[in-house]
Chain A
């Protein structure tokens, strides 16, 4: 039989003004299982808490019900008090008689009655309570950062600087990401590579960072603090330890005309290549699809010229297995290309390019050495039309959202063009100018006022080619939707930013949820922007939604702090409010039938399959098992389970059923 103490709080007059607290305490003392019942002015005060602690010892209580304010306010206070008096904290309950009773009702018999009903219900719950122990999980203090763009670089450096080991995985041959491709950055117009490359070098040289480029995450198992990750290190076709990065092979490779991914197909590269001169690591990779040797079996010029004999044609992919405590996803974004737009020629007009291509044209290290030359004939365009929101904010294209970065980079593009081609005309079609950010609006103003970029508010309905010109047909909505036609030499589409290729796959591997656009989903849009719903996996940069460099870097540092906090202790302590599959007496006797319909219900992928085997290794039963490291205690699986084989600690079937019965009991005893 339980021995429960009831403590009714006056909360000054907050409760006692409308509730007859003495009567509640007196009636409560008559409830079955209640051995002690008092009222007091301020239960949460030190003397009030002492009252509880002493009663626990004096009456040898097995449960405590404090009738006072909302548990959201003082539940931790009284749990702590119980613990100090030697009572398991999860044996205490709060009856909310302030927010849910005294404050919302007038003084009356019914109000006192309700307060008592609430107390009685919580006494019922308390008598069904069981002692719970906080869950402790060990933590492997090594982080994995996926993606080596500016966000991944920042996150890796920040974590590494807290003294923890970091593995940085990047799928392309060099880190740097999109930022390495940019010409200059808004709103300061400083050179993108100049500010990024020192960071890239720092990553390569940091003693706490292990860098795997040309590598991808193969699989992820486990849970917060205890991930088991397999990384596929794709064959570079060379011995990285021997290679000095002299680059002789890349100059001698007979294949020279392969469109370069880094140059957004505007430039070329050999088959053995580093994506760009400042690549980190500065070790080339052989593109086997385009290499003469892999295609014909002959050539091997690179092997011949290599002074350190580092080329390995027979190299194979290797799988590395690592134990990881926390993961930061920083896989960035892609942009749509001009072939996404049938109305703008579906990619058939060479001089209709996307923003990233323009970055390469404007970049001093780009295919045109920073001269703005159009791709079709290398002429310097005298008139460029920039189209903002190409694809973005367009439900018909399936992209309802604003890509956020395009307003700014379009202004930058127009400005760069005007700086480089003084007699050129730059026209921008826009829907709205969204320049929220430090010095952003001023930057756009500068483009309009100082650099005379023509801004036209309206959409472009179609582009077609006529006599070597691109006819851009649009509307000017500020002039009564008057139609506008511009004969342009080149068109730059500020195409929508989208989730990077393969992000859906990666999300599924990581068990991270993602939105309809395949961007990774944060745990809470306001308060948990860098967490995911999967414990121990965090987000940085544009993989969550398109964002600019300052935001990406800030987010990366935020994610790094979350990782550092996780690594700050050896054990992870969690509230024991988790679901459990019954397995008493012994798992083979569990009532779980292993239908696993609970699996898709769990938002945290916490439900695993457990196979019970006989001595010969044959599976005799499969049942669900809840991973307590992952379970967050929502209890949706509990309500779904038909055989009532799952229960939620702290909110068990017995407790909830008891509460329902108790709450409806007849009036005062």
Chain B
């Protein structure tokens, strides 16, 4: 942790970056995001198992972009999010310094995002184990059971869009739900409107979700919607062999193809 603080301090002092995004101690024993511009305040920075939020969500915010060069505390999910955002031209790679956090919590030295790419390439990627276990259970259910499960869960959604706000990939200025010519998504939070919204969100994140789980954590009703995008992340990997957030090239699963993609349902 001292290394992290030291490095952040150096970066701010040398004006290599103008802002450091990291975690600090919040209220009720929780960790929360912190935005530091003063090198003397880098002592606030922490990193431990409470730091679960995907900080990359801030990178695309106007208020943050304003700072130009930014350092960000980056555990694996943040690294992958950064790579997705760079590949989708949302942040400039020269503007980001990743303060990488290894799996053991140690500070990793990333002189450039190319090194991040190389680091990510070496790590086995997938969903968090606890989530994958639930997914496996759901996948073992019958279609009817799954329908009942999701109907029951999604019924409760009241469309606050916290899931959208928490996701670094949901950065569109205008979301499809906000289109009314035509009205793609039924506006009210009724079962159909909810289903449509979550189908849309899931499809839009297919091949782009880095399995951070922030959408599920953001949900005030604890609807496990992160399972939808996590399932698709696995599906995309199995079907197309690509994982989101491994490269800075624009190679998202649904904007590329292989002539020999294999499916078994087209007549």
Q: Do chains A and B touch in the complex (CB under 8 A)?
A: yes
- B143 at interface, CB cutoff 8 A: no
Q: List residues 174-198 of chain B with CB under 8 A from any CB of chain A.
A: 174-176, 179, 181-182, 184
Q: CB within 8 A of B172: which of A643, A653, A654?
A: A643
Q: How far is the CA of A154 from the CA of B171 in the complex (A)?
A: 54
Q: List residues 296-340 of chain A with CB under 8 A from any CB of chain B.
A: none
Judge whether B255 and A640 touch: CB under 8 Å. Answer: yes
Judge whether A653 and B89 touch: CB under 8 Å. Answer: no
- A571 at interface, CB cutoff 8 A: no
Q: Tell me which residues across on chain A come within 8 A of B235, comparing CB atoms.
A: none
Judge whether B174 and A595 touch: CB under 8 Å. Answer: no
- B239 at interface, CB cutoff 8 A: no
Q: CB within 8 A of A645: which of B90, B174, B204, B255?
A: B174
Q: Tell me which residues across on chain B come within 8 A of A445, comparing CB atoms.
A: none
- Among A596, A642, A645, A657, the most chain B Cβ lie within 10 Å of the Cβ of A642
Listed in ascending order, the chain A residues whose CB lies under 8 Å from chain B are: 591, 593-601, 622, 640, 642-645, 653-654, 657-658
Listed in ascending order, the chain B residues whose CB lies under 8 Å from chain A are: 88-90, 171-176, 179, 181-182, 184, 204, 250-252, 254-256
Q: Tell me which residues across on chain A come within 8 A of B182, comparing CB atoms.
A: 653-654, 657-658
Q: How far is the CA of A348 from the CA of B139 in the complex (A)?
A: 59
Q: CB within 8 A of B88: which of A596, A640, A653, A658?
A: A596
Judge whether B181 and A654 touch: CB under 8 Å. Answer: yes
Give the distance to chain B from A441, nearest Cβ to Cβ, in Å. Answer: 35
Q: CB within 8 A of B176: which of A598, A601, A644, A657?
A: A644
Q: CB within 8 A of A600: which of B171, B172, B181, B251?
A: B251
Judge whether B176 and A596 touch: CB under 8 Å. Answer: no
Give the distance to chain B from A634, nearest Cβ to Cβ, in Å. Answer: 14
Q: Tell me which residues across on chain A come within 8 A of B172, comparing CB atoms.
A: 591, 593, 642-643
Q: CB within 8 A of A599: which of B171, B179, B250?
A: B250
Q: Tell me which residues across on chain B come within 8 A of A591, comparing CB atoms.
A: 172-174
The 4 A-B residue pairs with the shortest CB-CB distance, nearest first, are A657-B182, A591-B174, A595-B88, A643-B172
Judge whether B90 and A593 touch: CB under 8 Å. Answer: yes
Q: How far is the CA of A595 from the CA of B208 in the complex (A)?
A: 12
Give the nearest-CB partner of B259 in chain A: A516
Q: CB within 8 A of B173: which of A593, A599, A657?
A: A593
Give the distance to chain A from B260, nearest Cβ to Cβ, in Å. Answer: 11
Judge whether B89 and A622 touch: CB under 8 Å. Answer: yes
Judge whether A596 and B250 touch: CB under 8 Å. Answer: yes
Q: CB within 8 A of B89: which of A596, A644, A645, A657?
A: A596
- Among B88, B179, B182, the most chain A Cβ lie within 10 Å of the Cβ of B182
Q: Tell me which residues across on chain A come within 8 A of B171, comparing CB atoms.
A: 593
Judge whether A600 and B176 touch: CB under 8 Å. Answer: no
Judge whether A644 and B174 touch: CB under 8 Å. Answer: yes
Judge whether A640 and B254 touch: CB under 8 Å. Answer: yes
- Among B90, B181, B255, B256, the most chain A Cβ lie within 10 Å of the Cβ of B255
- On whether A643 and B174 interact (CB within 8 A), knowing A595-B89, A622-B89, A654-B181, the answer reads yes
Judge whether A600 and B88 touch: CB under 8 Å. Answer: no
Q: Tell me which residues across on chain A come within 8 A of B89, comparing CB atoms.
A: 594-596, 622
Give the distance to chain B from A613, nearest Cβ to Cβ, in Å. Answer: 16
Give the nearest-CB partner of A128 in chain B: B182
Give the nearest-CB partner of A624 in chain B: B89
Judge whether B184 and A642 touch: CB under 8 Å. Answer: no
Judge whether A600 and B179 touch: CB under 8 Å. Answer: no
Q: Tell me which residues across on chain A come within 8 A of B251, comparing CB atoms.
A: 600
Q: Tell me which residues across on chain A come within 8 A of B184, comparing CB atoms.
A: 644, 653, 657
Q: Tell me which residues across on chain B come within 8 A of A657, comparing CB atoms.
A: 182, 184
Q: Tell me which residues across on chain B come within 8 A of A593, comparing CB atoms.
A: 90, 171-173
Judge whether B181 and A643 touch: CB under 8 Å. Answer: no
Q: How far is the CA of A645 from the CA of B176 in the complex (A)?
A: 9
Q: How far is the CA of A596 from the CA of B87 in the complex (A)?
A: 9
Give the distance to chain B from A151, nearest Cβ to Cβ, in Å. Answer: 28
Q: CB within 8 A of A597: which of B173, B176, B181, B250?
A: B250
Q: Tell me which residues across on chain B come within 8 A of A658, comparing CB atoms.
A: 182
- On whether A644 and B255 interact (CB within 8 A), knowing A591-B174, A595-B88, the answer reads no
Q: CB within 8 A of A595: which of B90, B179, B256?
A: B90
Q: How far is the CA of A657 from the CA of B176 in the complex (A)?
A: 14
Q: Tell me which residues across on chain B come within 8 A of A643, comparing CB atoms.
A: 172-176
Judge whether B88 and A597 touch: CB under 8 Å. Answer: yes
A-B contact pairs, 9 of them (CB 8 A): A591-B173, A593-B173, A595-B89, A595-B90, A596-B89, A597-B255, A600-B250, A622-B89, A640-B255
Q: Tell me which residues across on chain A come within 8 A of B254, comparing CB atoms.
A: 597, 640
Judge whether A600 and B90 touch: CB under 8 Å. Answer: no
Q: Tell me which residues across on chain A come within 8 A of B173, comparing CB atoms.
A: 591, 593, 643
Q: How far is the CA of A603 from the CA of B249 in the complex (A)?
A: 18
Q: How far is the CA of A653 from the CA of B181 in the complex (A)?
A: 8
Q: How far is the CA of A622 from the CA of B171 in the complex (A)?
A: 14
Q: Tell me which residues across on chain A come within 8 A of B181, comparing CB atoms.
A: 653-654
Judge whether A642 and B179 touch: CB under 8 Å. Answer: no
Give the nearest-CB partner of B172 in chain A: A643
Q: Tell me which residues across on chain B come within 8 A of A642, comparing CB atoms.
A: 172, 175-176, 204
Give the nearest-CB partner of B200 in chain A: A642
Give the nearest-CB partner of A596 in chain B: B89
Q: How far is the CA of A654 from the CA of B171 in the complex (A)?
A: 24
- Among A591, A593, A596, A597, the most chain B Cβ lie within 10 Å of the Cβ of A597
